[in-house]
Amino acid sequence: MGLVLSPRADTPRTESLHGWDAPGWRGLRVVVTGLGVSGFSVADTLAELGAVVTVVDGNDGPENQARAETLRIVGVSEVLLDAEATRSLPAVAGEPADLVVTSPGWRPDQPLLMEAHAAGLPIWSDIELAWRVRERPGRPTAEWVCLTGTNGKTTTVTMVEAILRADGRRAIACGNVGTPVLDAVRDPEGFDVLALELSSFQLHWTHSLAPAAAAVLNLAEDHVDWHGSLEAYAADKGKVYQNARVACVYNEADALTRTLVERADVQEGCRAIAFTTGTPGLSTVGMVDGILVDRAFTENRRHEAVALAARSDLGTVAPKHTVANAAAAAALTRAVGVSPEAVAEGLRGYDRGEHRIQLVATSRDVMWVNDSKATNPHAADASLAAFTSIVWLAGGLPKGVTFDELVSTHARRLRAVVLLGTDTSVLRAALAAHAPDVPVHAPLAAADGAGSPDGPAVMAEAVRLADRLARPGDTVLMAPAAASMDQFRSYAERGDSFIASVAALMQEHGWDVNGEGPGPDAPDPS
């Protein structure tokens, strides 16, 4: 891949573009790539700033057609919706472009972006644009608290938002989740704090971010097909720490996150703060006897810790990785001055969401758990570690990663495996090598690579297979360790399909989803 590893931040035409009222926005010629949620917000913002905008997207479906019409109404000069238009850098109102703002789904080796890079154009993310226009006369300028990582981002940023709100701050989770960051920046009332979840894709094209506090939650092999290598992926994640002002929060259990802090060029006075699920040392947030405590943001941190919350505040099922997410959220929010009481209140009240260690049903002493959000081996590792005897529903689009370490670590927990996905070869090989005695089953012939069958039909059969394999005391865990797009539109659709299939199974057998049922045990599938 011809990856752009060092994208250009500025030219003389763009280096003065800081602040909503910077005069250089007017007449600036910008190509916006992608017309999804973030691309639409970018184009809309640039039109409001007075820039001349051309939007490019290869999808000309009804949703994009509607978005294009709206953008034309607000002053976007041109919207090009066809695959051919994505293969080269377009002119803007007949003149060469000054800037490209790209959506995170566009890879660095995409021809249009490669041409822009070769021409010496700056390429920005929506995050970069939002950072540059965040200061606007007559509105408060929000603090930014940013986090990234391979797993746990959405849970942690939701926790951060809840804690900030419990402290009386007007705050919103945005960026790679929920509200586009530019919509938050343009909110008429403004915010006290923006809690940003950032993907490695967004960070790749972000150059001048200077958050109050930042965290890399963890790092594991993921998106290697986009970044080209684990090293490049980690380097982009580490950009979240650049120019941090108050705290760089890292995972004590993940040495690479600390290394990224050590490499970062931060502002004077910025501190390195660890989080852990164990007993915290100095300048660390961690756990002592089931209590989340702070030894980082307290005056007498050498000799005492401040109690923040109880593990029970995290809900009935609080696996180790959920505790880690809570510790990271506490560290980030304590960095911007929230009270200990707000940490506890926020963690008790945050929206846990669906598809993340979600208990779907308990029947005949078997738990059915949906963790469709586990889209890579690192996330699935956390799920598998939470249970002792598992019928594992796994597989999907692997994104260039391997499963050997995951399978070898948890082989002793596996009663059986039911495979999902259109190509199960990599996962099958790992199971054969590291868990040869574990039964492996696959619904439908197409799950072995003979095409892409209807996802819900595959899931329904997978659930029936899992039911026949499970025994009292087992957990049927759908933690695929892979992306969903080979058979489903999203991890959420995959999770919904699992939930629906479990409900149908319970109804078919007349079982109570929260207790015992009369259904007889069935024999193992042949």
Give the residue extent of every domain in the chain: 26-124, 136-349, 358-510
| Closest C-alpha to 156, from 95, 82, 208, 218 | 218
**Top-confidence residue, 397 or 25:** 25
pLDDT, residue 1, reads: 41
Is the pLDDT assigned to residue 261 strictly greater than 50?
yes
> Mean pLDDT lowest for which of 6-10, 61-65, 211-215, 522-526?
522-526
Chain-centroid distance of CA 450 in Å reads 31
Is the pLDDT assigned to residue 513 strictly greater than 80?
no
pTM for this entry: 0.73
CATH match of 358-510 with 2.60.40.10? no
Question: Is the CB of residue 75 less than 8 Å from the CB of residue 47?
Answer: yes
- Across the range 483-511, mean pLDDT stands at 90
Helix (H) or strand (E) run with residue 459 in it: helix 455-469
pLDDT in tens, 402-440: 999 999 999 999 999 999 988 889 999 999 999 999 999
Percent of the chain with pLDDT over 90: 71
Q: Would you state the structure tokens that stand for residue 170, as one six-digit string?
A: 């007007």
pLDDT, residue 398, reads: 83
Tell me the average pLDDT of the chain.
89
- Across the range 481-500, mean pLDDT stands at 91
Assign domain 136-349 to its CATH architecture: 3-Layer(aba) Sandwich (3.40)
| Closest C-alpha to 40, from 186, 140, 147, 153 | 186
Q: Where are the beta strands (DSSP E) in 312-443?
A: 358-363, 366-370, 390-394, 414-419, 440-441
Assign domain 26-124 to its CATH architecture: 3-Layer(aba) Sandwich (3.40)
Q: How far is CA 166 from CA 382, 394, 490, in A?
A: 28, 38, 31
pLDDT, residue 181, reads: 96
Question: Is the CB of residue 293 less than 8 Å from the CB of residue 280?
Answer: yes
> Mean pLDDT lowest for which of 242-246, 248-252, 358-362, 391-395?
358-362
Q: How far is CA 45 from CA 69, 146, 195, 196, 275, in A?
A: 16, 22, 20, 18, 37
pLDDT, residue 443, reads: 83
pLDDT, residue 104, reads: 86
- Across the range 153-158, mean pLDDT stands at 92
| Closest C-alpha to 481, from 147, 107, 151 | 151
Question: Is the CB of residue 308 less than 8 Å from the CB of residue 344?
Answer: yes
**Residues, the chain, total?**
526
pLDDT in tens, 352-400: 766 777 888 888 889 999 999 899 998 898 889 888 899 999 999 887 8
- If one counts every other C-beta atom within 10 angstroms of the C-beta of residue 262, the result is 11
State phi, psi for 436 to the nearest 5 degrees.
Answer: -65, -20
List all residues 6 or more positions away from 309 whose beta carbon is below 8 Å from its beta carbon.
291, 292, 326, 330, 343, 344, 347, 348
26-124 and 136-349 share one fold: no
Is the pLDDT assigned to residue 247 strictly greater than 60?
yes
pLDDT in tens, 31-84: 999 999 999 999 999 999 999 999 999 999 999 999 999 999 999 999 999 999
Work out the pLDDT band at 2, boundaries 50, 70, 90: very low
**Cα-based angle 204, 423, 405 (whole degrees, multiple of 5):** 65
> Mean pLDDT lowest for which of 302-311, 315-324, 330-339?
315-324
